[in-house]
Chains A and B, each alone.
Chain A
């Protein structure tokens, strides 16, 4: 591997899922919590993405960002800017972002009609 063979090997084609136009909803409770998080600054966006990993293979990734270098779809819901990466759009179409108010395991939750199963903590799905 110090011989240059690895450097010259061409990339293999990984699966490129079809990009779908994402429709999503945000529950009233989640919108209230987002309003607290955003404050008056609506230039920020909620990035809703998916990473590999977790007990079920895919993990939700929620971030409040100013911008991202990922190719995203921008959706505006009641003044909230939501960004969904195209690379994971096929996994996120139809989701509802909810907020569960409890001491343990509370926080933002994703209700995903595309998920066949999810792990107990709700952070990952398959």
Chain B
């Protein structure tokens, strides 16, 4: 299984009795029922439904580890910090203690779970992608580059932070429909996303295009022959 280093990974540790309700109240996916040993992706959005970041939640029992995109952490933290108020939520930064990797092209029947062994935690986060969080003194065999991963995900139309997943686009436009729960209650951006889904009007859509024939301004990840683009429907 190809494994590439993910230098932009960020890991924070969220503790307290209100952590799941706090995340649930501010992000697109339903996470209140997340149990120990489970993993789930959810997306924080603005009032305009633009993406702040997509995060992966590891329920570790005593705490929830939140895997996010380092360059977006400042924006995400600025979004959540003033909303903690008196709730039982404390956040620690564990990024410096770990290395991060992406395993791609994997076949996994247990998406939404993770396993830990000898300092390495592997989350089956999407049907063909694993996140790996490894402590600094753990060894992970790397046999691919992040460029290989981006080339691979173009073929599989998988969005990524810094490319499709950005503050410029709403969750549907950048291909995060699976993160948007169809029936959960209110959260920031929910009214717009629900209206778009109900009316079937998403505005823009993430697709794979021929690099040389597509409108260059729409391309979000440029591949050799194919690219990903967010185009108006």
In chain B between 19 and 40, which residues have their CB closer than 8 angstroms to a CB of chain A? 21-22, 24-26
Contact A70 B22 (CB under 8 A): no
CB of B93 within 8 A of chain A? yes
A10 to B133, CA, bound (A): 18
Q: Which residues on the B side are within 8 Å of A70 (C-beta)? A: 86
Segment at the interface with A among B169-177, B187-195, B212-220: B187-195
Contact B84 A56 (CB under 8 A): no
Q: Which residues on the B side are within 8 Å of A3 (C-beta)? A: 119, 135, 137-138
* Chain B contact surface mostly: mixed
B99 to chain A, nearest CB (A): 11
Q: Which residues on the A side are within 8 Å of B121 (C-beta)? A: 1-2
Of B47, B58, B85, the residue contacting A126 (CB under 8 A) is B47
B198 to chain A, nearest CB (A): 15
Contact A57 B93 (CB under 8 A): no
Q: Mark B81-103, 1 if CB is under 8 A from A, else 0.
A: 11111110111111001100000
Contact B119 A14 (CB under 8 A): no
Segment at the interface with B among A26-34, A37-45, A46-54, A107-115: A46-54
Contact A55 B81 (CB under 8 A): no
Contact A51 B87 (CB under 8 A): yes
A3 to chain B, nearest CB (A): 4
Contact B81 A15 (CB under 8 A): yes
CB of A104 within 8 A of chain B? no
Decide yes or no: A6 and B13 within 8 Å by CB, A12-B93, A52-B25, A54-B187 being known contacts: yes
Decide yes or no: A15 and B47 within 8 Å by CB, A2-B121, A6-B63, A52-B25 being known contacts: no
Decide yes or no: A55 and B87 within 8 Å by CB, A1-B121, A6-B94, A15-B82 being known contacts: no
Contact B65 A6 (CB under 8 A): yes
B86 to chain A, nearest CB (A): 3
CB of B7 within 8 A of chain A? no
Knowing that A4-B135, A14-B84, A54-B188 are A-B contacts, what are 17 other residue pairs whose CB atoms are under 8 Å apart, sorted by A's residue number? A1-B133, A2-B119, A5-B94, A5-B98, A6-B92, A10-B93, A14-B89, A14-B91, A52-B25, A53-B25, A53-B186, A55-B47, A55-B187, A58-B83, A88-B85, A91-B85, A123-B186
